[in-house]
Amino acid sequence: MANSNVVAHAGEPTAPVVSHGSHAETTRTQWTLKRKLWLTLALMWLVMIAIVVSMAWQSRNTMFDERKAALSNTIGMVHTLLDGYADRVAAGELSEEEAKARATEDLDAMRFGADRDNYVFVFDADAKLVYHPRRDAGSDMSDYEDPNGVAVYRDLASLGEEGSGYLPYSSRDASSDALFPKLSYVERFKPWGWNMAAGVYTNDIQSAFIDKLWQYALVLLVAGGLLTAAFLLVIRNVYRSLGGEPDEAARVVGRIAEGDLTTPTALRDGDTHSLMYAIERMRLELSKTIARIRESGEAIDQGAREIATGNNDLSARTEEQAASLAQTASSMEELTATVRQNAENADQANKVSDATTASVAHGQEVISQVVSTMGEIRSSSSKVADIISMIDDIAFQTNLLALNASVEAARAGEQGRGFAVVASEVRNLASRSADAARDIKSLIEGSVSHVNAGAELVDQADSAMGEIRDGAQRVSDLMAEISAASQEQSSGIEQVNQAVTQMDQVTQQNAALVQQAAGAAGSLETQAGDLYQAVVRFRVASDR
């Protein structure tokens, strides 16, 4: 919203029309800075005048002190003189009357002052003169008073009774018959009962005081005039630097402190360097800054809420992922144990396969030996068959011989009967031998056929054992490969298990970090809310 009091290029305030109502009210209700400064100047003049008067008065008092000291010293000399005569009287050198006479003669010579017109006089306790250079000795001065009614001698006698003292009074000058102030000092000489006194006129002190006062007044006028001119210049510069009354600046700053950034500051025409101008610029810049902070605070608050929500979701998902990874790690450990067991079983199977291959090789060797033995048996069976055939031939021939013998025995008759019996028995034996040979041959042929069949089976077994050996070797090679693969698989699964474990640890750490991030996001959300609440109390132009 445009405002003639606050719109300016580059963020600078323009000089608004000064409102005199508040200024007049301020003047009526309390002292303005200008009045305070003028009062300070007046007080400064009063202080300087007081200092001048005090210095002149101090000079007057110093002169009085000097006069008193001179009187005291003079009477002290008289006291010393009288002490000397009193000592001579006590010593018997002089009589008291003679000593007093000589003392008065000496007193006549004790004149002092610039013109030696000041003198010492002596009187007793009854105010009767003992010595006076201008009056007769023995004169009764108890009724003597100055024009102001001061009983000079009686008062001096009273001071003498106290020991010593000063008495101011008035006296006429012998040369001009004029009345002047005078100061006398008295001191009692107890051995003779005398009061020793001396006096001086003090009118010159008063004149000197007046002269000093005029001198100091002249210096005061010169110095005070210069100081006043400088002070007026300072007042002018201070007022120009402030740009207004400090109370008005305090009210403006108070409004800003209360959060009101909408009320413009009253500036004088052409004011671009004063405190009020700086306050107005501060108000404008602070208003812009607060507006930007509001917008940023709202954005931060919204972003913090979204971050907090996302972090909470991410935290939940991360926890679920961590649980899944934990289960995966457990399953991987079980799988690792299973694969390790399979590798061990494959290794044992490989060893068993190697043993089987060795047994098959040994069996093949044994079968080869059996084949060789079966060949030898077959060869031996053939030989036995040949022998059986030979035995059969022998039995056949024996049978023929026995038959021939029987025929011959029959021819022989009685003589050949016994031989015929033997031939018959031989023929029976030959027949039986032939039968046995045929049976053995038949058995041998059966055995040979079985041996041949066994040899064929053994050959087949040898071929089968070779195939078994080759298969067992292939199985052994496969089991070795399976064992190696199982070892590699076990190693790989172990690495995978370690990776899963590391992933589980990282996921747990991520879950903790996500929880921390969620807490930080929550804290950021709270702080953003606090920031928004802190700046929302300021009212800016956009709030109108």
For residue range 367-382, list pLDDT tens digits in order. 778 778 877 777 777 7
Specify whether the CB–CB gap between 37 and 150 falls below 8 A: no
Place of tokens 């799988």: 335
Which residues, 6 or more positions from 535, have their beta carbon under 8 angstroms from its beta carbon?
A: 290, 293, 294, 297
For position 4, what pLDDT does the model report?
36
Identify whether the C-beta of residue 102 lies closer than 8 Å to the C-beta of residue 85.
yes
- Encoding tokens for residue 158? 């009273």
The pLDDT value given to residue 14: 47
What mean pLDDT is predicted for residues 63-88? 90
Contacts of 152 (CB under 8 A, 6+ apart): 141, 144, 145, 146, 167, 169, 184
Instruction: Pick the closest to residue 364 from 457, 451, 461 (CA basis).
Output: 461
pLDDT reading at 62 higher than 80: yes
- Which amino acid would we find at residue 353? S
User: Is the predicted pLDDT of residue 215 greater than 70, yes or no?
Assistant: yes
Segment 406-416 mean pLDDT: 76
Residue 372, token pair as written in the block: 């060789």
Structure tokens at 308: 């907090």
Q: Is the pLDDT of residue 26 over 60?
A: no
Q: Is the pLDDT of residue 307 over 90?
A: no
> Over pLDDT 90: what percentage of the chain?
12
User: CB within 8 A of 60, min separation 6: which ones?
Assistant: 205, 206, 208, 209, 212
Per-residue pLDDT, 18: 40
Q: Report residue 456 CA to chain centroid gap.
A: 100
- For 305, residues 6+ apart whose C-beta sits below 8 A from its C-beta are 525
Q: What span, in angstroms and rounded, lies between the C-alpha atoms of 382 and 317?
A: 91
pLDDT tens for each residue of 448-470: 777 777 777 777 777 877 777 77
CATH 1.10.287.950 in the chain: give the residue spans: 287-536
| Contact indicator for 181, 147 with CB cutoff of 8 Å | no
Cβ neighbours of residue 128 under 8 Å, at least 6 residues apart?
138, 139, 140, 141, 142
Measured CA to CA, the distance from residue 126 to residue 160 in angstroms comes to: 11
Distance CA 186, CA 156 (A): 6
Q: Which residue has the tokens 């309390």?
A: 30
Question: Rounded mean pLDDT of 492-511?
Answer: 78
Region 415-424 average pLDDT: 74
- Say what the pLDDT of residue 176 is: 63
- Answer for the pair 32, 245: CB distance below 8 angstroms, yes or no: yes
Closest C-alpha to 42, from 236, 235, 213, 242 = 235
Contact 242, 276 (CB under 8 A): yes
pLDDT band at 543 (very low <50, low <70, confident <90, very high): low
State residue 82's pLDDT score: 93
CATH of region 33-234, choose from 3.30.450.20, 1.10.569.10, 3.30.1280.10, 3.30.1330.180 = 3.30.450.20
Q: Are the CB atoms for 5 and 276 separated by under 8 Å?
A: no
Dihedral class, residue 11 (left if φ above 0, else alpha if ψ from -120 to 50, else beta): left
CA distance 67 to 73: 10
pLDDT band, very low/low/confident/very high, at 15 (cuts 50, 70, 90): very low
Tell me what percent of the residues of the chain surpass a pLDDT of 70.
89
Instruction: Estimate the crossing angle of helix 275-412 against helix 246-257, to 10 degrees.
Output: 20
pLDDT at position 10 is 38
Residue 117 has what pLDDT?
A: 76
For CATH 3.30.450.20, the residue range(s) in the chain are: 33-234
Find the largest Cα–Cα distance for the chain.
254
For 238-273, the pLDDT digits (tens) are: 767 776 667 777 777 887 787 777 777 777 777 777
pLDDT tier for residue 487 given thresholds of 50, 70 and 90: confident
How far is the CA of 520 from the CAs of 297, 380, 507, 514, in angstroms? 16, 104, 19, 9
* pLDDT mean over 512-538: 74
Mean pLDDT of 81-108: 91
**Mean pLDDT of all residues in the chain?**
78
What are 260's strand-pairing partners? Answer: 539
Residue 24's pLDDT band, with cuts at 50, 70 and 90, is: very low
DSSP state of 10: G
Looking at residues 195-222, what average pLDDT do you find? Answer: 84
CATH 3.30.200.20 fits domain 287-536 = no
How confident is residue 401, by pLDDT bands cut at 50, 70 and 90? Answer: confident
* CA dihedral angle for residue 363, residue 368, residue 370, residue 372, rounded to 10 degrees: -170
Residue with tokens 């079983």: 345
The torsion region of residue 188 among left (phi > 0), alpha (psi -120 to 50) and beta comes to beta
- CA–CA distance, 455 with 365 (Å, rounded to integer): 15
Asked if 318 contacts 510 with a C-beta cutoff of 8 angstroms, the reply is: yes
- Say whether pTM exceeds 0.75: no
* First vs last C-alpha separation in the chain: 9
